Amino acid sequence: MSITQFRTETRAWLEANCPKSMQKPVKKFTDLYWGGSKPYFDSEDQKIWFERMYERGWTVPHWPKVYGGGGLNKEEAKVLKQEMKALNCRPPLYSFGISMLGPALLHFGSEDQKLQYLPDITAGKIWWCQGYSEPGAGSDLAGLQTRAEDKGDHYLINGQKVWTSYADKADWIFCLVRTNTEGRKHAGISFLLIDMHTPGVSTRPIKLISGASPFCETFFDNVKVPKTNIVGEENGGWAIAKYLLTHEREMIAGIGEPAEVPLHQNAIDTIGLSNGMLADTILRPEIARWSMNNEIFKMTIARMLDEAKQGQSLGAKSSFLKYYGTELNKEKLELKLAATGQTGLVWEGEAYDDGHLPKYFCRTKGNSIEGGTSEIQLNIVSKHILRLPS
């Protein structure tokens, strides 16, 4: 099938099959279907939309069919994405299994592991969470302390993770654990999959300044894990972690609501025009400055991806993308607050969209911390791209 034909058919199918209520911007947690062993559908439409897409393998369209994916090539996957965006279709299934673990398994997993885990991810049967950070470690990821002791046929896990997304809802966790306490700290880390239902695993939600609790602390108290649950080599987990961090950075850099209202339109709506110019002459250049930087940054993402296609690896450039994208996002919310005045600071109440704006504002402050702080990204750029001495 030609790509033009694919586009036409895809558009027709989406128009016929995506329920109207699934063609609205995602605003809150339950607007997405997250899957898991105790699946929760917010509406019948959400269920229908998931099932129809899953049937075609389009929960993860670019994975091979044998793993439950859609088997689309890059070009087709891009077209599907474009057409979904054009209709404002919500993703039918959202999970860290798709965005994080899947890519790692495809790259580093054994064939057995791929067949065991990937189809359940595409089917949304398992809710995965990520266990990297530890209390007191912060940016020093390689300093992690969670121990995995070799007990012959299994590991015995003891330790604590923090910033595990929705660990209180998750079925499984993919984790970095220390399998060797000697030598260089990077060299003793393994990448391990742990069933959250195993005895000894417990979680506690962390309340954020936004008021939401998307993260947990997760505790491991003598948790037994089969040795086959390791991905890659024992003590070879750092390479996987780095691969996923790069991957995550790129994702975070792309932050931003789909088909979003441009910032200047937002400001025009709130403040109004005067002689064809934003009535607030002081805010106007600030809005324009941000918009210019934002528009150019999107070109940089496109250019770097184009270069990557030509074989120049993205590598440490992803650190710049993560840094700049998150700083832009924080700045955008500052400008939104500036444009709305006190109205944008009301924390509750239906008339105030349940405080979506100030809560999201608070949430964005974490953008430059999670997935490696801005400072860490700048360190990486100066060391690996600019080759400045340490």
Residue 373 binding target from another protein, a copy of itself, none, CB below 5 to 8 Å by type: another protein
Cα gap 136→143, rounded to integer Å: 9
Q: Kindly state whether residue 281 participates in binding a copy of itself, applying the rule CB under 8 A.
A: yes
Distance of CA 126 to the CA centre of its chain: 17
> What are 282's two structure tokens?
């002081």
CB of 207 to another protein, least distance (A): 4
Span from 4-12, 195-203, 275-283, 377-385 in contact with a copy of itself (CB under 8 A): 275-283
How does strand 172-178 pair with strand 189-195? antiparallel
The nearer residue to a copy of itself, 281 or 390, going by C-beta atoms, is 281
Site string for another protein, 112-141 (x = CB under 8 A): ---------------------x---xxxx-
CB of 165 to a copy of itself, least distance (A): 33
For the chain, how many residues are written? 390
Span from 151-159, 177-185, 222-230, 280-288 in contact with a copy of itself (CB under 8 A): 280-288
R_g over Cα of the chain: 22
Span from 79-87, 113-121, 245-253, 290-298 in contact with another protein (CB under 8 A): 290-298
Site string for another protein, 339-358 (x = CB under 8 A): -xxxxxxxxxx-----x--x
What is the per-residue DSSP string for 299-328?
HHHHHHHHHHHTT---TTHHHHHHHHHHHH
| Cβ pair 164, 145 in contact under 8 A | no
Among 19, 26, 284, 353, binds another protein (CB under 8 A): 284
Cα gap 233→240, rounded to integer Å: 10
Among 87, 297, 353, 360, binds another protein (CB under 8 A): 297
| Cβ pair 108, 231 in contact under 8 A | yes
CB of 63 to another protein, least distance (A): 25
The nearer residue to a copy of itself, 147 or 284, going by C-beta atoms, is 284
Nearest Cα residue to 290 out of 262, 257, 258: 262
Residue 295 binding target from another protein, a copy of itself, none, CB below 5 to 8 Å by type: another protein
Cα gap 358→344, rounded to integer Å: 6
Spell out a b/e string for 328-354, using b for 16 or more CB atoms within 10 Å of the CB, else e: bbbbbbebbbbbbeeebeeeeeeeeee
CB of 326 to another protein, least distance (A): 11
Contacts of 60 (CB under 8 A, 6+ apart): 68, 69, 70, 93, 98, 102, 121, 122
Q: Kindly state whether residue 47 participates in binding another protein, applying the rule CB under 8 A.
A: no
User: Binding to a copy of itself (CB under 8 A): which residues in 282-301?
Assistant: 282, 284-285
Q: Kindly state whether residue 90 participates in binding another protein, applying the rule CB under 8 A.
A: no
User: Binding to another protein (CB under 8 A): which residues in 205-244?
Assistant: 206-209, 211
| Cβ pair 330, 323 in contact under 8 A | no
CB of 264 to another protein, least distance (A): 5
Nearest Cα residue to 133 out of 161, 160, 159, 158: 161
The nearer residue to a copy of itself, 285 or 315, going by C-beta atoms, is 285
